[in-house]
Structure 1
């Protein structure tokens, strides 16, 4: 096979790889925690996630998007990462004991992860242009 016939598979492989990595990151940081915390003093219920879990997920998917952008794979990152994170959130929310307002959370997850992925992928792409290897 020549170079041109193999070229279209590369973005697909990037999408699959980024999607799997985003799913693993979601499960590692958020997928296992489903219990809300009750503050004994105020009686307020929070959670189920702690701040470190959300920050950890954001750092990992931000790094994935940055690397994808650096490798000129911005579109696969924008297609895979937000879609997988939103799907994982929806599955987790719908199967929780109190599904509640999950459509709003899903919309926020989709918009926030798309915006964050776009910013990090474009930063990665700009560093690849300014600091080529």
Structure 2
């Protein structure tokens, strides 16, 4: 591995980690309140479905761009670790039940699977596009 490749991977990984943490903050980090339905007494939250959908779509875009420019084997662990650690740190600080650990495992598995599939897919598309002969 050349010095240029190492530098690109290090810089790309740091930018990807920062963008992943920024995604959590932009979509989920600011909302800590729960909603209680006055008729049923059911509690929901802290996130609304639109927040989770926006977060997932943004993370999907990051994984695709990351997989296009960087190795998927760098993208998946960086994004998974950055998002899971950020989510778990916040969840542990506000959860009184201890169930944040279960959520953290689910976030870890989901992030690992999702970022791997999307970044590998982006890399395969890039390879296919560069192999096509010019007409």
What is the rounded CA distance, in whole Å, between the counterparts of 2:9 and 2:97 in structure 1?
A: 35
8 A contact 1:93–1:99 mirrored in 2: no
Q: Secondary structure at the match of 1:80?
A: helix
Q: Which residue of 2 aligns with 1:41?
A: 39
CA contact (8 A) 1:71 1:128 kept: no
CA contact (8 A) 2:35 2:46 kept: yes
TM-score (norm 2): 0.90
**Correspondence for 1:26:** 24
Number of the residue aligned with 1:128 = 126
Partner of 2:111: 113
User: Residue 11 of structure 2 aligns with which residue?
Assistant: 13
Gaps of 5+ in 2: none
Aligned-pair distance for 1:111?
A: 0.5
1:73 Cα shift?
2.2
State the shift of 1:123 in Å. Answer: 1.2
Number of corresponding residues: 131
RMSD: 1.7
- TM-score (normalizing by structure 1): 0.91
1:121 offset after TM fit, Å? 0.3
Q: Which structure 1 residue ranges, 5 or more long, are not aligned? A: none
Q: 2:72 is matched with which residue?
A: 74
Q: How far is 1:132 from its partner?
A: 3.0
Instruction: Give the deviation of 1:116 after TM superposition.
Output: 0.6
